[in-house]
A and B are shown apart, each in its own frame.
Chain A
Amino acid sequence: MIELYHWEPNAASARVLIALKEKGLQFQSRYLDVLAFEQHAPAYLALNPSGETPVLVRDGEPFNESSYICEYLEEAFPETPLMPKTPLDRWAARAWQKYVDDYLAASVSDLAWAALGSAGLKPPPGSSIDDAVARIPMQERRDAWRGALEDLGEEVLDKARERVRLTVDKIETDLEDRDWLAPGGYSLADIAVYPYMNYLPRIEPELVGKRTAPHTLAWLKRMSERPAVIAAEAMSRTGDAYATAAPGPEHVRWG
């Protein structure tokens, strides 16, 4: 049996939800309200001590880190391939996934949190937001939440915008002569990038708009029309997965 602990179908949770839907795999959805700090409940921390979402559980065994959950699904369930065939094209698909993990996820999360985030916070009954954050066991995540709850500051947001600009340049170049990010067709690369870039037309229309990012917008539309993406997004409980955001993963620490 496959279970997926996830939040709204955006960011990292969406990556795995879309991959599961693309592959047509049956799974039990375990929804965690990240803005209510449900991912720090002891039962969940036993599965994933970092308290990050998503976690996939197969026959009782937990798997974390969305890039590697997706690669695991690809290798364990090779039907409906989501990776290109040749080693070189697979390198290109993995390069996009790694780029998301190293740079894009943290940068877009900063921008999305600043634009949408804290309004939706719901500390558990009888406790304050500070108490809820103080109970996060991993220092890295506690620091990330504290940093996000203070003002991120314009310098951090400017760096994030700089990263988005570089990403748009990369996508616009890649999509000049093809429909999907990695050569060789639709792949985990598209699934990795979409749930972050899809925040941006609304919150950073200058960076991802008709003038600056025509190929990117057309690709976002192609993505949003895929049945698997529609099915994943139908699992939103808020009704609009990209109108809400949580503190993201850590930025690369050096270099």
Chain B
Amino acid sequence: MAVELYFFQPLGTNSGRVFQALLEKGVAFVEHELKGPDFEHLKPAYLRINPKGQVPTLVHDGQVMPEGMIANEYIDEAFEGPPLRPADPRERWRMRVWQRYAENDLGRSLMMINWNRIVPTFVGDRSEAEVLAVLETVPDPDRRRSWLAAYRQITPAEVIEESHRRAREGAKKVEAHLRQHPWVAGSSFSLADIDLNNFCGFMAMWMPELVNQTDTPAFVAWRAKMEARDSTKAMRARSNFNMATRGGAAIANRPAGKAGAH
């Protein structure tokens, strides 16, 4: 019977999308908050549940399901409650294409820009040796390399610039799409709206030069609609981070001290 969610604070991106889907579906769940700055997701207790150390992980009756995008499809299929996917197969296809775009293309570009800024603060006052020792334990090789590159600030400048280009293109693409459709998948609210807001919604605050009332009015109006939803409000209230005061994230999340480290 029990539904459990292991998630990161601040609630957003991958953790936020599953947290919000459970709220939208009206599924009661046990919260397991993992402290990213303490690298709790790399400690044995969590790796026993999810050996890859990915966050979030949905657990239902002991069955372990990482991968937020498809965990959300599971939530929609396994529980009673309002549908989170369109009934029309064509709109469902559009939902999934946009979920992938939000997460893997635009979202990863934003992540690349932001993690390169945040990681140095995120790791607090640990010594370099300490941090490298922890990062060496990231189980997935690609993820390990990304963390190391962000920590050492060696992501090539052209890769960061390409990410900025995709952010600029993305703002336009989202705007054009939301001028045609009230919701991302088309006629109804769906998992794609949850994903786009969790992975890219903060552009409105962090990249106001790209997402603003003048250049992207449909994007801004859709976001207001998303932020007004009960599930978004409940998630924001549960988050330890005020999205509007970016940079506060790293400070609010700093590890308690060296005692918290490995």
Which residues of A are interface residues toward B (Cβ below 8 A)?
Answer: 61, 63-65, 67-69, 71-72, 75-76, 87-88, 90-91, 94-95, 98, 101-103, 139, 159, 162-163, 166, 251-255
Q: In the assembled complex, how far is the CB of residue B1 from the closest CB belonging to chain A, in whole angstroms? A: 15
Tell me which residues across on chain B come within 8 A of A103, comparing CB atoms. 142
Residue B96, interface by CB 8 Å: yes
Interface string of B99-137 (1 = CB under 8 A from A): 010001100110110010000000000000000000000
Q: Determine if B89 and A255 form an interchain contact, defined as CB atoms under 8 angstroms apart.
A: no
CA distance A65 to B70 in the complex (A): 16
Q: Determine if A65 and B96 form an interchain contact, defined as CB atoms under 8 angstroms apart.
A: yes
**B residues 70-99 in Cβ contact with A at 8 Å:** 70-71, 73-74, 77-78, 89-90, 92-93, 96-97
Q: Determine if A162 and B67 form an interchain contact, defined as CB atoms under 8 angstroms apart.
A: no
Nearest residue (CB) in B for A94 is: B70
Q: Determine if A91 and B108 form an interchain contact, defined as CB atoms under 8 angstroms apart.
A: no
> Number of A-B pairs whose CB atoms are under 8 Å?
82
User: Given the interface contacts A76-B89, A254-B111, A254-B112, does A162 sit within 8 Å of B141 by beta carbon?
Assistant: yes
Q: Determine if A159 and B141 form an interchain contact, defined as CB atoms under 8 angstroms apart.
A: yes
Partner of A101, one of B73, B89, B100, B109: B100
Residue B69, interface by CB 8 Å: yes
Tell me which residues across on chain B come within 8 A of A91, comparing CB atoms. 65, 70-71, 73-74
Q: Determine if A253 and B89 form an interchain contact, defined as CB atoms under 8 angstroms apart.
A: no
Q: Determine if B146 and A254 form an interchain contact, defined as CB atoms under 8 angstroms apart.
A: yes
Main secondary structure of the interface of B (DSSP, over half): helix
CA distance A68 to B77 in the complex (A): 17
CA distance A87 to B111 in the complex (A): 30
Tell me which residues across on chain B come within 8 A of A255, comparing CB atoms. 108, 111, 142-143, 146-147
Q: Determine if A88 and B93 form an interchain contact, defined as CB atoms under 8 angstroms apart.
A: no
Further 8 A-B residue pairs, CB within 8 A, beyond A94-B70, A254-B111 = A71-B93, A72-B92, A76-B89, A88-B78, A91-B70, A101-B104, A253-B105, A255-B111
Residue B163, interface by CB 8 Å: yes
Q: In the assembled complex, how far is the CB of residue A84 from the closest CB belonging to chain B, in whole angstroms? A: 11
CA distance A56 to B69 in the complex (A): 23
Q: In the assembled complex, how far is the CB of residue A49 from the closest CB belonging to chain B, in whole angstroms? A: 10
Q: In the assembled complex, how far is the CB of residue B137 from the closest CB belonging to chain A, in whole angstroms? A: 15
CA distance A94 to B111 in the complex (A): 24
Residue B165, interface by CB 8 Å: yes
Nearest residue (CB) in A for B75 is: A87
Q: In the assembled complex, how far is the CB of residue A218 from the closest CB belonging to chain B, in whole angstroms? A: 25
Partner of A63, one of B93, B100, B143, B163: B93
Nearest residue (CB) in A for B138 is: A255
CA distance A159 to B92 in the complex (A): 34
Residue B214, interface by CB 8 Å: no
Interface string of B7-31 (1 = CB under 8 A from A): 0000000000000000000000000
Residue B63, interface by CB 8 Å: yes
Partner of B108, one of A69, A94, A253: A253
Q: Determine if A90 and B104 form an interchain contact, defined as CB atoms under 8 angstroms apart.
A: no
Q: In the assembled complex, how far is the CB of residue B239 from the closest CB belonging to chain A, in whole angstroms? A: 21
Nearest residue (CB) in B for A139 is: B165
Tell me which residues across on chain B come within 8 A of A76, comparing CB atoms. 89-90
Q: Determine if A90 and B77 form an interchain contact, defined as CB atoms under 8 angstroms apart.
A: yes
Q: Determine if A68 and B96 form an interchain contact, defined as CB atoms under 8 angstroms apart.
A: yes
CA distance A254 to B77 in the complex (A): 29
For the complex of A and B, 10 pairs with smallest distance between CB atoms: A75-B89, A87-B77, A253-B108, A94-B70, A87-B78, A76-B89, A72-B93, A68-B96, A91-B74, A254-B108
The CB with the most chain B CB atoms within 10 A, among A69, A163, A252, is that of: A252
Tell me which residues across on chain B come within 8 A of A252, comparing CB atoms. 104, 108, 142
